[in-house]
């Protein structure tokens, strides 16, 4: 007797509807997330528990402080203070000072100097620094009045301060 011949037929793939596919994908994702969470816990088990994150508040506003004067010599320090005064109060032409409180180069030096002699010595060094690049400058006021903005006058106050410092003034 012979056994009946059976033919193996491949089962036709079952077509899943949308809800069934979503459930299947959800189960796969849950398994992946569980594994990722477990891996994270194992990888970070050696880290001691940190304090809870404190509430973040806005930083306190910082009040700017003036940098210390880089020049120990009195004339150089006077010229540096005059530069800071120009930066803070403003620069002007046509007079020592205007109505808003801005000053020309000589006015800034006079306001920064401790004495009349110190102001005079600072002006001599400033005129020398100016004449190095502008040999036809007759006086500080005439050179100051020919400038268009405060950048060049402030730069020459610093150059004069460096010159005075190099001379020990």
72-123 pLDDT, tens digit each: 999 999 999 999 999 999 999 988 888 898 999 999 999 999 999 999 999 9
Q: What is the C-alpha to C-alpha distance for residues 138 and 96, in angstroms, rounded to an integer? A: 17
Q: Please choose, from the candidates 80, 83, 104, the residue with its C-alpha nearest in 3D space to the C-alpha of residue 92.
A: 104
- Is 17 inside a domain boundary? no
Predicted local confidence at residue 16, as pLDDT: 82
Long-range contacts of 53-57 (CB under 8 A, 24+ apart): none
Q: Judge whether 105 and 144 are in contact, CB under 8 Å.
A: yes
- Is 112 inside a domain boundary? yes
pLDDT of 154 above 90: yes
- Is 62 inside a domain boundary? no
Mean pLDDT, rounded, for 13-38:
90
Predicted local confidence at residue 64, as pLDDT: 72
Q: What's the number of domains the chain is made of? A: 1
Q: Tell me the per-residue pLDDT of 30-70, one tens digit each, with 9 for 90 and over.
A: 999 999 988 888 877 766 665 555 666 777 777 777 778 89
Domain ranges, residue 162: 74-167
- Is 58 inside a domain boundary? no
């Amino acid at each position: 007797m012979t056994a009946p011949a059976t033919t193996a037929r491949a089962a036709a793939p079952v077509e899943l509807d949308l809800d069934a596919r979503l459930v299947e994908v959800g189960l796969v994702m849950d398994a992946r997330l569980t594994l990722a969470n477990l891996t994270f816990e194992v990888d970070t088990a050696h880290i001691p528990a940190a304090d809870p994150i404190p509430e973040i508040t806005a930083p306190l506003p910082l009040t700017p402080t003036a940098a210390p004067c880089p020049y120990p010599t009195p004339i150089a320090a006077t010229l540096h203070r005059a530069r800071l005064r120009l930066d803070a109060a403003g620069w002007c032409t046509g007079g020592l000072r205007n109505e808003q409180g801005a000053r020309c180069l000589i006015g800034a030096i006079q306001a920064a100097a401790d004495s009349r002699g110190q102001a005079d010595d600072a002006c001599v060094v400033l005129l020398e620094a100016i004449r190095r690049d502008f040999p036809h400058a007759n006086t500080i006021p005439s050179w100051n009045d020919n400038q268009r903005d405060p950048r060049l006058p402030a730069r020459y106050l610093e150059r004069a301060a460096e010159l005075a410092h190099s001379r020990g003034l």
